[in-house]
A = this chain, B = another copy of it.
Amino acid sequence: MESLKKKIQVEGIVLSSEVLKVDSFLNHQMDPSLMKQIGEEFAKRFRGENVTKIVTVESSGIGPALMTAYEMNVPLIFARKRKSLTLKNDVYTAKVFSFTKQEETEISISQKFISEHDRILMIDDFLANGQAALGLIEIIRQARAHLVGVGIVIEKAFQAGGEQLRRRGIRVESLVRVQSLKDGKVTFLEEVTAQ
Do B59 and A29 touch across chains, with their CB atoms under 8 A apart?
no
Complex Cα–Cα for A66 and B78 (A): 15
**Residue A62 is within 8 A (CB to CB) of chain B in the complex:** yes
Q: Can you offer 10 A-B residue contacts whose CB atoms are under 8 A?
A: A24-B112, A28-B109, A29-B76, A30-B69, A30-B76, A32-B67, A58-B58, A59-B59, A59-B78, A59-B80
Of the candidates A23, A28, A80, A113, the one having the most CB atoms from chain B within 10 angstroms of its own CB is: A28
**Residue A73 is within 8 A (CB to CB) of chain B in the complex:** yes
Contacts of A75 in B (CB 8 A): 25, 29-32
Do A113 and B24 touch across chains, with their CB atoms under 8 A apart?
yes
Complex Cα–Cα for A170 and B67 (A): 30
Number of copies of this protein chain within its complex: 2
Complex Cα–Cα for A113 and B110 (A): 34
Q: Considering only CB atoms, which chain B residue lies closest to A72 in the complex?
A: B32
Given the known interface contacts A30-B75, A59-B62, A113-B29, the answer about A70 and B36 at a Cβ–Cβ threshold of 8 Å is yes
Query: Which of B28, B33, B36, B113 is within 8 Å of A28, CB to CB?
Result: B113
**Residue A8 is within 8 A (CB to CB) of chain B in the complex:** no
